[in-house]
């Protein structure tokens, strides 16, 4: 039986000032896209980028680019280790209830752009697993 490793995605709506790391399951079964972007489906995001000029302008300002340089991965992509480090600060602040062991924010094993990571209880962070 194969182990299902949850992929973590980074979503950012610069117009609303929202940045969020979410699991593949959350994208599939919850209204995360609608909550963050106001559209029902991931496939609606390119249309939103193309026709919503205010949203387009916010992406340009956030990334210091011109409209013809916008790409979908600026607002929706597989999360990277640096994305997760940014999320970690917020997560640890929210979980700061003086307990020594902080539970993982996602599954204990996750997939990021750099590879597979496992939760380390000692420092409350994900560490990359070595691959052969």
Same domain, 20 and 69: yes
- Look up the domain containing 44 and give its range: 11-77
Looking at residue 55, what is its pLDDT? 96
Mean pLDDT, rounded, for 46-71:
95
Looking at residue 89, what is its pLDDT? 80
Residues 79-124 pLDDT 10s: 999 999 888 888 877 766 656 677 889 999 999 999 999 999 888 8
pLDDT exceeds 80 at position 58? yes
Same domain, 72 and 85: no
Same domain, 66 and 52: yes
24-38, 43-57, 95-109: least confidently modelled range: 95-109
Same domain, 71 and 90: no
Looking at residue 87, what is its pLDDT? 87
DSSP the chain: -PPPPEEEEEEEETTTTEEEEEEHHHHHHS-HHHHHHSSS-GGGHHHHHHH-HHHHHHHHHHHT--GGG--GGGTEEE--HHHHHHHHHHHHHHH-SS-SSPPPSS-SEEEETTEEEEEETTTTEEEEPP--
């Amino acid at each position: 039986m194969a182990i299902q490793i949850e992929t973590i995605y980074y979503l950012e709506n610069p117009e609303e000032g929202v940045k969020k790391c979410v699991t593949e399951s959350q994208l599939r079964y919850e209204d995360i896209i609608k909550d963050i972007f106001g559209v029902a489906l991931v496939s609606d995001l390119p249309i939103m980028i193309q026709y919503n000029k205010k949203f387009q302008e916010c992406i340009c300002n956030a990334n210091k680019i011109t409209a013809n340089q916008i790409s979908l991965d600026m607002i929706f992509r597989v999360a990277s280790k640096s994305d997760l480090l940014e999320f970690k600060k917020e997560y640890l602040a929210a979980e700061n209830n003086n307990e020594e062991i902080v539970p993982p924010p996602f599954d204990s094993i996750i997939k990021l752009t750099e590879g597979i990571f496992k939760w380390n209880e000692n420092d409350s962070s994900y560490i990359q697993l070595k691959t052969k």
